Amino acid sequence: MTPDAVSNEYVYQLDRQNVFHSWSSQGNLSPLVIAGGRGCKMWDYSGKEYLDFSSQLVNTNIGHQHPKVIAAIQAQAGELATVAPAHANLARGEAAKRILAHAPQGFEKVFFTNAGADANENAIRMARAYTGRDKILSAYRSYHGNTGAAIVATGDPRRVPNEFARGHAHFFNPYLYRSDFWASNEEEECERALMHLKRVIECEGPKSIAAILLESIPGTAGMLIPPKGYLEGVRRLADQHGILLILDEVMAGFGRTGRWFAFEHFNVKPDLIVFAKGVNSGYVPAGGVVVSEPICRHFDDHMFFGGLTYSGHPLAMAAIVATLDTMEAEGIVDNADRVGNGVLADGLKQIAEKHAIVGETRGVGVFHALELVSDRDSRAPLPAPAMAKIKGALIEKGLLPFVVENRIHVVPPCIVSEAEVEQGLSILDDVLSTAG
């Protein structure tokens, strides 16, 4: 039964009584009610407004309800709402062509999936089929999605209860602030992380390794920008042993770092690119794998044992075409670069200098993290109850944050204006002044 006027309370109770939530024990949840959104703003049924500094799950790169993307989805729904993947379809072909236009030279085709996890799943499968090898190496500080191989490739603790896929090994990726290598500068961190990876490859058996899977810039793990030379070094190690390099651009791709792909910040070219989220801002779920020429040639006369009913779903494809065209026409990637590396990065540095609770700020584009500590010298992470209080206070003051462990990820849509950044930073500053 629907009440005459929908209220926050009605939607909240509807959810609590009927919806089973992700990554949670179900008993003690209080989901925030969201009724609508536009641009960087969202609101509830009482009219309370929020500035979205989370981009939801870091996916609404183009902001909420961009009229051109909504119109494209509506037009496609009117024309053909679904079609089997085996057919040739205009929206699918146009979407693939546009994605390839942003990929480096040497990438030829796009395999579409429903989201990021199954994109990694299929990239892993392609790498295994292409190399005839089994193992996938990936980083402990990573998230690659919640399906069979993707969650086991994931490094973060969500892997452990889900470890049912075989053929995976992990290594430590660089993270100078909490170095696993006793490093005191970027050069040491880079050199030692590469030496460690070299040893892991040797010990796992180079000829058994199909691919190294890495987020170009690990996102959920806290914007761990690789030190200069690291990804290039990983590429060299992979090449020495005939191992493929898969770069997961699900969170960092399509404008988030102020580039179309985050690996453009480095001098590296992968063999497979995995994408989702920002490709159409999640208006209709979509993900995929961009496949390089040698791998395409292999599958010209070898069967690819993989597929999905909704691979290249026309509503998602129409959303991709409109999103990428609009991002280009409206200079949205440049905006993420200019605003993100300007007023946002500068403002976060000032906040870090002012508040002892901030151990480090790092990031690029609209992809930043504030790492909160209870003690700057020991770098002890701020405990969960204090983080929960901060999150509550930010929401109370109208800022939607993305809080992970002891970090606030500052990830507004790529369209964010300088005025909106200043508004968000002022709320952050305010809340951190009373936290600790």
The residue whose two tokens read 């030279």 is: 105
Taking the least distance from each CB to ligand PLP, the nearer of 221 and 295 is 221
The yes or no reply on residue 57 touching ligand PLP (CB under 6 A) is yes
Question: What six digits make up the tokens of 34?
Answer: 């969201």
Taking the least distance from each CB to ligand PLP, the nearer of 183 and 254 is 254
Smallest distance, ligand PLP to C-beta of residue 251, A: 4
Contacts of 263 (CB under 8 A, 6+ apart): 216, 231, 247, 249, 269, 270, 273
Taking the least distance from each CB to ligand PLP, the nearer of 31 and 331 is 31
Q: How far is CA 417 from CA 43, 63, 422, in A?
A: 18, 11, 9
The yes or no reply on residue 248 touching ligand PLP (CB under 6 A) is yes
Cα–Cα distance for residue pair 171/181, rounded to 1 Å: 12
Question: What six digits make up the tokens of 217?
Answer: 């810039």
The yes or no reply on residue 250 touching ligand PLP (CB under 6 A) is yes
The yes or no reply on residue 219 touching ligand PLP (CB under 6 A) is yes
- Angle at CA of residue 319, ends 19 and 56, nearest 5°: 40
The yes or no reply on residue 223 touching ligand PLP (CB under 6 A) is no
Q: Which stretch binds ligand PLP (CB under 6 A): 46-54, 138-146, 375-383, 385-393?
A: 138-146
The beta-strand segments (E) located in 10-155 are 36-38, 41-43, 49-52, 107-113, 135-139
Question: What does the DSSP 8-state code read for residue 87?
Answer: S
Taking the least distance from each CB to ligand PLP, the nearer of 125 and 192 is 125
Q: Which stretch binds ligand PLP (CB under 6 A): 215-223, 229-237, 311-319, 343-351?
A: 215-223
Taking the least distance from each CB to ligand PLP, the nearer of 57 and 77 is 57
* Of 333, 341, 422, 340, residue with least CA distance to 62: 333
The yes or no reply on residue 145 touching ligand PLP (CB under 6 A) is yes
Smallest distance, ligand PLP to C-beta of residue 220, A: 5
Q: Which stretch binds ligand PLP (CB under 6 A): 141-149, 315-323, 326-334, 402-410?
A: 141-149
The yes or no reply on residue 117 touching ligand PLP (CB under 6 A) is yes
Q: How far is CA 261 from CA 184, 248, 285, in A?
A: 29, 10, 19
Chain contacts with ligand PLP (rule: CB under 6 A): 57, 115-117, 120, 143-145, 215, 219-220, 248, 250-251, 276, 287
